[in-house]
Structure 1
Amino acid sequence: MLKRKIETDLERWHAAPRRTALLVTGARQIGKTYSIRHFARTHYEYVAELNFIENPELISLFSTPRDAKNLLMRLELAVDTPLVPGKTLIFFDEVQQCREIVTAIKFLVDDGRYDYALSGSLLGVELEDIRSVPVGYMSELDMHPLDFEEFCWSQNIGDNIFAVLRDHFEQRREIDAFIHRRLMDLYAKYLVVGGMPAAVDSFCADGSILGVRTIQENIKREYRRDISQYAHKADRLHIRTIYDLVPSELNNPNKRFTFAKIDKTARFQALASDFDWLVGADVAIAAYNVDEPCSPLEMSKERNLFKLFYNDVGLLTGSFLRKTAIEVLDGEPDINYGSIYENAAAQELSAQGFNLYYFNSKKLGELDFLIQDRNDNVLPIEIKSGKSYKRHHAMDNVLAESKYHLDTGYVFGPCNISQEEKILYAPIYTIGLLENH
């Protein structure tokens, strides 16, 4: 099985002195259900699973608010598993189909006899009110496709390697040349395979990229079906068009979305909810333009200027010709990795809990990303895919502006670690070391 970082978070939840219900959120096909099931098998004697898509009749259990005694009596009749106090996890899956679970979960947690886990897809658009459960009753974990470190685990790279990387990154010391080459080779594979568990499993089994691409296309087909099923009828065409346009828009020089390609007559205000749907469903990642690279970034973001990325870089690379995937694997120096590198960077930063922004100024130039760390420091980031990674006029200009008070700029690319004045150069595979936990 694939080792996932969420296992540590599940252990922490289970060890808490007073357990809340646990909600695991994230896009479809990223391993939520599998991770909860695996954890449950190793930590509970009994596991009762209720899937509201496979068994829609279960929704009626929660049709009206009831007390815990009534709810548990109904649950006992609905499952085949014994419900033993202190030894049972009740797992509600595909909860986007059952809005009433929001009301019920408070009663169940208050009762205290069993533990509860919930999961589902499209929760950001279908079940947003589940987050209104009072504090103390619900804990939430965001799950993402495999990041690069998790992918390396699947390729039998041990924790010790990333411990070394973290030390070198913090100390600004060059990484051993052999390790650097090996990790750049693995990163090329990651750019093609991506982090969807089914794709990674397939690649681990036989090393076939064709099998991986088939899985990736099936996942995108599922996402499109979700749009057709869950999005408002009037918005479906626009949302699907936006999703399908992501690869071509990222290949544009400025990588920003062009609204005219969606609907020549529509204004941004009419399309804003369509973009929000994709981001809320966790199938896309947005980076918004800001007026100034200053804290707080959220205060100066411009809603109508943004870049949109797929939630998984493998889904992006899988949208291109097979020839492109081969060139990425072979490290061809003449192809443009820009959009692929940036999507991978957006995915990694998002998985680390960062909100993404970028800065574009006619006078100073454009920075690929801006993020804000736990101490509210603004970190400017440039993503470079070629040998000319030391050419970064926008970064130089922004760092030179004393009014922005930026101490360090980060350039991630095919380079090793080095520090030159205010700029840290680092390998693209280390961008996940900018942790926000």
Structure 2
Amino acid sequence: MKRKAYDELLAWKSGKTRQALLVTGARQVGKTYLVREFGRAEYSRFIEFNLATDDATRESFAAARDPEDLLLRISVAASEAFVPGETLIFIDEVQQCPNIVTLIKALVDKGEYDYILSGSLLGVELENVRSYPVGYMSELLMFPMDFEEFCWSMGLTEEAFDMVRESLRKEQPVPDYLNERMLGLFHRYLLTGGMPDAVGAFVRDGTIDNVRRIQSDIRRFYNRDITQYAPKSRRLVIQEIYRLIPSELNNSTRRFKVGDISQVKRYSQIEDEFLWLSQANVALPVYNVEEPKSPLLASKERKLLKLFYSDVGLLTSTYDKQATLGILGGLGVEGRMNYGGVYENVIAQELTAHGFVPYYFTSKKTGKLDFLIEDESGGVLALEIKSGRRFRSHAALNKALDTPGYAIDNAYVLAQTNVERDGKVLYLPVYMASVLQRPRLV
């Protein structure tokens, strides 16, 4: 499966100045597979170690006293000889042996071999590692496959997305045949999400049962990770927060109600638990701001947040199949389920993967704005997400645009529609969130 992160690996290889690469991200997002493909294609020698499955190698590396000792142990454990300038050494599940991160600096400085370290929960496990080698290690944070990558796996060409980007730039409708195709793929993406194994099963079978089995297994892995890695005093609360996310997103405000957690009354009691899930990259927090004006971070309210799953397919797989029937038709509301939370989850996921830090805004006077983001120049963009047919009704957005003192530069409504400008509001097909991209700082 083609991944955008491959280009970032190539950029690291060609542009690095004696830097190792740390590939982070939640479990099952495709880190190992991508690095393996990269190593085999771009190097004449690719050496791989998995510290979660190879006990002898893990114990040997953990016993290393200094960088030279670690390199010796790596060479002994390797299945083939190293060639200076042509060898990539890949150490996977490095959280099992965090001392490697502190020893890698001297090895990288020699410049003989390239090093990639990878693992899950690194934001949690490596938080307190001493002597983190600043300047000697770049970091690549991987996410589940975004909608564009999913479409590639389904056979859609890159040229199709070029047309979508051009339609957004010119504020012109996407051709009907392409808009219909993209909306159909988007509805399927809501069910499959972007976990590579789940996408692969869907591409292979065209049905949902194996996809949901894989998604259930991944959620089970995440719960096991909480049991294994989270502090003992917090494990049960972290697990409860993670399990509550689907029901919290099914309420009208999407806001996570702290009072729904057993024996918890104040956010301050469980702030670290929310932070753990975020650092483990299995949940995406979106915080409220006191006012919609730049810089958004300056008015962030830590006690008010919406919490999303890192992958929309993991969310929809928690609901029974009958409840998700309306997703395929894009009906928005079907029977007892409102899909607003599902749509907001996928938008939060896309925005985060594309370099934005999303916020939301709510007030008694104005109402609720689903998302606020800042572009590279600091301009504020308001996004309203509509899962149903009544997407032209957005009173809160209208009030915010007309309120003196607010500083919203652009306003988009993402819905089951095509591109259309109506005064200050630009209506976009919901899948166009996939082409919103914050340029990376070089």
* TM-score range for the pair, normalised by the shorter chain length: over 0.9
Question: Structure 1 stretch 100-109 or stretch 150-159: which is displaced more?
Answer: 100-109
Question: Could you tell me whether the CA contact under 8 Å between 1:22 and 1:139 is conserved in 2?
Answer: yes
Question: Structure 1 stretch 64-73 or stretch 288-297: which is displaced more?
Answer: 64-73
Offset, 1:61: 4.3
Q: Which residue of 2 aligns with 1:420?
A: 422
Question: Could you tell me whether the CA contact under 8 Å between 1:90 and 1:117 is conserved in 2?
Answer: yes
Give the secondary structure class of the aligned counterpart of 1:367.
strand
Q: Which residue of 2 aligns with 1:11?
A: 10
Q: Which residue of 2 aligns with 1:329?
A: 328
What is the alpha-carbon root mean square deviation over aligned residues? 1.6
1:105-151 CA-partner distances (Å, limit 9, x unpaired): 10110011100001100111111256964443111111100110000
- What aligned pairs does 1:372-387 form with structure 2 within 5 A after superposition? 372-387=374-389
Amino acid at match of 2:271: A
Question: Structure 1 stretch 330-339 or stretch 71-80: which is displaced more?
Answer: 330-339
Q: Which residue of 2 aligns with 1:198?
A: 197
Question: Could you tell me whether the CA contact under 8 Å between 2:331 and 2:388 is conserved in 1?
Answer: no
2:341 and 2:375 map into 1 onto residues whose CA distance is 24
**2:406 matches 1:404:** yes
Offset, 1:62: 4.7
Q: Which residue of 1 aligns with 2:112?
A: 113
- What aligned pairs does 1:26-425 form with structure 2 within 5 A after superposition? 26-63=25-62, 66-129=65-128, 133-332=132-331, 334-335=333-334, 336-425=338-427
Question: Could you tell me whether the CA contact under 8 Å between 2:316 and 2:324 is conserved in 1?
Answer: yes
- Alpha-carbon spacing, 1:174–1:131, altered in 2? closer, same or farther (3 Å): farther
User: Runs of 5+ in structure 1 lacking a partner?
Assistant: none
Question: Could you tell me whether the CA contact under 8 Å between 1:68 and 1:111 is conserved in 2?
Answer: no
- Alpha-carbon spacing, 1:402–1:3, altered in 2? closer, same or farther (3 Å): same
Question: Could you tell me whether the CA contact under 8 Å between 2:282 and 2:310 is conserved in 1?
Answer: yes
Give the secondary structure class of the aligned counterpart of 1:89.
strand
Percent identical residues: 49
Offset, 1:407: 2.3
Q: How many residues align?
A: 436
Offset, 1:195: 0.5
Amino acid at match of 2:310: N
1:42 and 1:131 map into 2 onto residues whose CA distance is 34
Question: Could you tell me whether the CA contact under 8 Å between 1:67 and 1:107 is conserved in 2?
Answer: no
2:37 and 2:273 map into 1 onto residues whose CA distance is 35
Amino acid at match of 2:360: Y
1:168-226 CA-partner distances (Å, limit 9, x unpaired): 11111111111111111111100001100000000011112011011100000000000
1:155 and 1:195 map into 2 onto residues whose CA distance is 12
Offset, 1:341: 0.5
User: Runs of 5+ in structure 2 lacking a partner?
Assistant: none
Question: Could you tell me whether the CA contact under 8 Å between 2:26 and 2:282 is conserved in 1?
Answer: yes
Amino acid at match of 1:392: H
- Alpha-carbon spacing, 1:427–1:297, altered in 2? closer, same or farther (3 Å): same
- Alpha-carbon spacing, 1:290–1:17, altered in 2? closer, same or farther (3 Å): closer
Amino acid at match of 1:219: I
Question: Could you tell me whether the CA contact under 8 Å between 1:348 and 1:431 is conserved in 2?
Answer: yes
1:410 and 1:344 map into 2 onto residues whose CA distance is 16
2:121 and 2:363 map into 1 onto residues whose CA distance is 35
Give the secondary structure class of the aligned counterpart of 2:270.
helix
- Alpha-carbon spacing, 1:406–1:267, altered in 2? closer, same or farther (3 Å): closer
In the superposition, the TM-score normalised over structure 2's length comes to 0.95
1:89-112 CA-partner distances (Å, limit 9, x unpaired): 000110111121221110110011
1:91 and 1:361 map into 2 onto residues whose CA distance is 49
